[in-house]
Structure 1
Amino acid sequence: MTQRTVAVVGSGYMGGGIAQVLALGGARVALADVSQEVAEKNLDRLLGEAEQFVADGLFPADAVDLLRANLWAAPSIEAAVADAGYIEEAVPEVLDIKHATLRRISDAASAEAVIGSNTSTILIATLAEAVDHPERFLGVHFSNPAPFIPGVEVIPHAGTSEDTVQTAREIVALTGKQAAVVKDVTGFVLNRLQYALFHEAAQVVEEGIASAEDVDTLVRTTFGFRLPFFGPFAIADMAGLDVYSFCYASLQTSFPERFATPDILKDLVDAGKLGTKSGAGFLQIPADQTQDLVAYRNKAYVAMAGLLKELGPSPAEEAGRAAEPTAPHAG
């Protein structure tokens, strides 16, 4: 396989991290920004960060050598994208800036080059208005911090070609990350879910039900503890969809509109598809594999508990503990 030639336009925190993982994956990566001076300054920063990441055991031992070999600062956006087969735009989340940058990329790049945007909020179809041959354009949304978060949203708009989606999948695979292809709607999937949780958490604090510190503790140590291993549908299947249906009915006694039972859940329960205990639910996990799933789950949770113990409390958790009121002394 020939070495991929890639350009990352926007060399700041997100763009720089994306450039790092692409270069570590073996691509030859041109880093571009508003000027060569800015790109070179950020390249030096990325090499310094990589040295620290190696020292901390976060990057492989040869990471700095790989980055020096595969990552370079281009004199301009046009020079960076001229020979690139894939281009990742990672400039600030401002429509006018993105449109202006994408026009420059589109004008200077090969007509066959695939262009991805790292936007987290702007509709891909809106960004595509600035791109010639918009069938080669889509969203490729890395998460912060890009070197260490393993999931990437791939977001085609209505006119994106299948070949473009496949190229994006290959780019994500090159970085060792996992791609999830989602539709072009406001918030996509990642932020729609993330902000739904935050919205409910904020209401809990505003209503005086729990402190921000206690909400964070509950999320970390209960359902959030499961999420590195299982998504919400696998968790629901293991709990039992009839149990979920009952819990929705209970929540509706106080929050009838906010917690209306989803039709997709009703339909499964009505059909007797109750999750792993019935062999069918949101995910099709055969009943005879339930014991293997439970064994994996238990092993995963114990391993996570051990890792957290080894790492110790995060600075955020320690700050939360320091903010807790002390109990009054007896006597």
Structure 2
Amino acid sequence: MTTSLDGRRIAVVGSGYMGGGIAQVLALAGARVALADVSAEVAQRNFDRLIAESKDFVADGLFPAGATETLQKNLWPAESLAQAVADADFIEEAVPEVLAIKHDTLRQITAAARPDAIIGSNTSTISIGDMADAVGNPERFLGVHFSNPSPFIPGVEIIPHAGTDADVVARAQDIVHASGKSTAVVKDVTGFVLNRLQYALFHEATKLVEDGTATAEDIDTLVRTTFGFRLPFFGPFAIADMAGLDVYDFCYKSLQTGFPERFATPKILSDLVAAGKLGTKTGAGFLNVPADRTPELIAYRNKAYVAMQKLLEDLGPAPIN
């Protein structure tokens, strides 16, 4: 596994907020990163913005000391897309979420890049397979989806299409890990994973506002201070296993008295409960955490939640109101 991006040649095509942030991440990890956009002037302007922004981030303790100098050494605005990608071994496309624009950009990248260069797209919703039609040697193409703001969010979706080479997936993960990020490999389906989950929550939240159950402000408060409080440490399956899958099964039945279709019990949950796999208390569930590790898990959970509360108190409330 790569532990540093020193010596790697990378291009980011699309130097706006997302592309620029991705370029910062990769350049700070040691790669020599070319920044390209619709014109040399736009690329230069965004390069200047990223350098100025980095100075503020260093002053605020968000970037390490010396980060600005590292960016000035490793990041450079290209005169053209062709110049940016010509000798790159990894290229990240981060242009607007419009299929026609992405197709045109990917065709330009294919024409100018090395035939063995890995090409990633930062799309959040567009099918990777649909975009692959515009890529020469499409087996080297995949989704590499950073989240906003990319310098500070650690998770990255890796999305191969049906024809992506397995070695390309591993090499893309290697690059992302070397930049200090975490990866999850997901299938090329509409919305992938991140946005399907995010929009499912938002959809139910809007229903609650529309039917008068609670205000938007009160829903945000509940999400932040209850299950949202847990999510930095545990995903939904870990939380369910700790709560007890039999408890989840019962709660689904309760929800069905008011919303029989919207809260139908997932078959995967019913099957586990029927098999007596109830989560951490039985040592088997979604994640199969051994029952004898429950005390250790609970101790970690409690410590994590106290630390989160202290962090929130130190930061103070978000300046929304």
TM, length-normalised to structure 2: 0.98
What residue number does 2:234 align with? 230
- Tell me if the contact between 1:238 and 1:275 (Cα under 8 Å) persists in the aligned partners: yes
Cα offset for 1:180?
0.2
The RMSD of aligned alpha carbons is 0.7
What residue number does 1:325 align with? none
- Where do 1:1-331 residues align within 5 Å? 3-316=7-320, 319=321
- Tell me if the contact between 1:142 and 1:151 (Cα under 8 Å) persists in the aligned partners: yes
Cα offset for 1:106?
0.7
CA distance in 1, matches of 2:269, 2:211: 29
**Partner letter of residue 306 of structure 1?**
K
CA distance in 2, matches of 1:167, 1:31: 21
Identity among equivalent positions (%) equals: 73
The C-alpha deviation readout for 1:212-248, integer Å capped at 9, x for no partner, is 0000000000000000000000000000000000000
CA distance in 1, matches of 2:171, 2:151: 20
Say which SS state the counterpart of residue 120 (structure 2) adopts.
Answer: strand
**Partner letter of residue 112 of structure 1?**
D
- Tell me if the contact between 1:26 and 1:174 (Cα under 8 Å) persists in the aligned partners: no
The C-alpha deviation readout for 1:166-197, integer Å capped at 9, x for no partner, is 11101211220100000000000000000000
**Partner letter of residue 59 of structure 1?**
F
CA distance in 2, matches of 1:111, 1:284: 43
**Partner letter of residue 256 of structure 2?**
Q
**Partner letter of residue 276 of structure 2?**
G
CA distance in 2, matches of 1:30, 1:21: 13
Cα offset for 1:284?
1.4
TM, length-normalised to structure 1: 0.95
The C-alpha deviation readout for 1:12-46, integer Å capped at 9, x for no partner, is 00000000000001111000001111101000000
**Partner letter of residue 70 of structure 1?**
N
CA distance in 2, matches of 1:175, 1:47: 18
CA distance in 1, matches of 2:271, 2:200: 23
**Partner letter of residue 61 of structure 2?**
G
**Partner letter of residue 282 of structure 1?**
F
Ranges of 4+ aligned residues in structure 1 off by more than 6 Å = none
Runs of at least 5 residues in structure 1 that lack an aligned partner in the other structure: 320-331
**Partner letter of residue 12 of structure 1?**
G
Say which SS state the counterpart of residue 315 (structure 1) adopts.
Answer: coil
Runs of at least 5 residues in structure 2 that lack an aligned partner in the other structure: none
**Partner letter of residue 278 of structure 1?**
T
CA distance in 1, matches of 2:66, 2:173: 25
